[in-house]
Structure formats: structure tokens, C-alpha cells
Amino acid sequence: MSKDGPFRNPTPTVDVLIEVDGHPGTVVLIARRNQPQGWAIPGGFVDEGEYLADAAVREAKEETELDVELTELFHCYSDPSRDPRSHTVSTVFLARAAGTPSGSDDAAEAQVFALDALPSPIVFDHATILADYIAYRASGKRPPVRR
């Protein structure tokens, strides 16, 4: 306990940037069924006792019905205002999958979008993550460490 009461820690989450085989330069996004509504990178909360990578594979399957293969650990995002519901810290993975995504669980729909034709609005800090991913694909440089 802190002097101000119980500890208030950020909640761990994962997000998965999925490229569908045969469609380079694209990414799968979901239309959120719940608030905040808009387009998002598939992902969600890590369950207690769950490895981050396992959570990423599970969340991708739950929201897109795709079986993903994680290819890289991309970056972590921890801006305290990244999620309007609460302070979260997201570990973002890169992945690939075969097939056609379909919205499921808390995703109203899932679609493949060209990186140069992304939908709007994009919720949370996912526009920043997507911009970082686009820059990484072009330059090979990882996103900067942010405060």
C-alpha cells in the first residue's frame, strides 16, 4: 500500500499488427463494438497468469477469427492517456496470418486495409502505433522511446 491507499497500477494489454499473407502493405483492423467506438488494432487485456505472446494470439483469434503467427515484438506504449477508460500499457506484436478476417467477440467487424488508406476514426493511440509501424516498414528503425 502507498501512503495514499491501495496501489493503482496500469493494466497490461497487447495489440497485434496483422499482415495477411498475399497482401503486403496491409494491416487488419477491427471496428469496435464497445466504447470507444471506431477502428482499432486487434488486441485486449492480458489475463492473470497469461504470457504476453499467448494473450496476443488469443486476442487476435477472438477478434478476427485468424490464427496468427507472431513474427516480432514491435514496441511498448505507455502514455497514461492512451486509453480513455484507464491507464494501460500495451505490448505490440507484429504477426502474419492466412485467410479472411471476420469480426468476432467485441469486434463488430474486421477488415484488411492498405497502410496508405486507413479508415477513420482510429481510437486509442492506435494512429500513433500505425504511424510508427509504417515508418518502421519504410526505414527499419524502431519507434522512439517516448515519455
CA distance 9 to 143: 24
Q: Which of 50, 62, 65, 109 is catalytic?
A: 109
Would you say 18 and 67 are in contact if contact means Cβ atoms under 8 Å apart?
no
> Cβ contacts of residue 83 below 8 Å, gap of 6+?
13, 124, 125
Residues in the chain: 147
Q: Would residue 48 show up in a list of annotated catalytic residues for this protein?
A: no
Nearest to residue 126, comparing CAs of 55, 42, 61, 33?
42
Active-site positions read 109
